[in-house]
Amino acid sequence: MLEKEKLQRINTLAAKKKTGSIEKNELEELKGLRGEYLKNFRSSFRAQVENTKVIDPEGNDVTPEKLKRIQEDKKQ
């Protein structure tokens, strides 16, 4: 998870960008921090999806086969 300080820095730099008072080096920093944030978000989201099981109203497992294969590969 991204540290609280980094999230605050992203927000601070985004606010500066919105007002037009951001410097070139700060813009590069913002780009890097956003990239790090997105990488972390995607990783967390993928892990959540890969641990999901889909059940229909009748109680049948209807998890897509592709997801089942990924889950089986992770168990090994």
Rounded to 5 degrees, φ, ψ at 55 are -120, 130
pLDDT tens, residue by residue, 3-52: 999 999 999 999 999 999 999 999 999 999 999 999 999 999 999 999 99
Structure-token pair, residue 32: 């890097």
Nearest to 11 by CA among 44, 19, 39: 19
| Domains recognised in the chain with CATH numbers | 4-75 (1.10.287.540)
| 51 DSSP assignment | T
Interval 47-65 mean pLDDT: 94
Q: Residue 11 corresponds to which tokens in the numbers above?
A: 């927000």
CA 65 to chain centre: 24
Going by pLDDT thresholds of 50, 70 and 90, the confidence category of residue 1 is low
Q: At residue 76, does pLDDT exceed 80?
A: no
If pLDDT is split at 50, 70 and 90, which confidence band does 66 have?
very high
**Does the pLDDT at position 74 exceed 70?**
yes
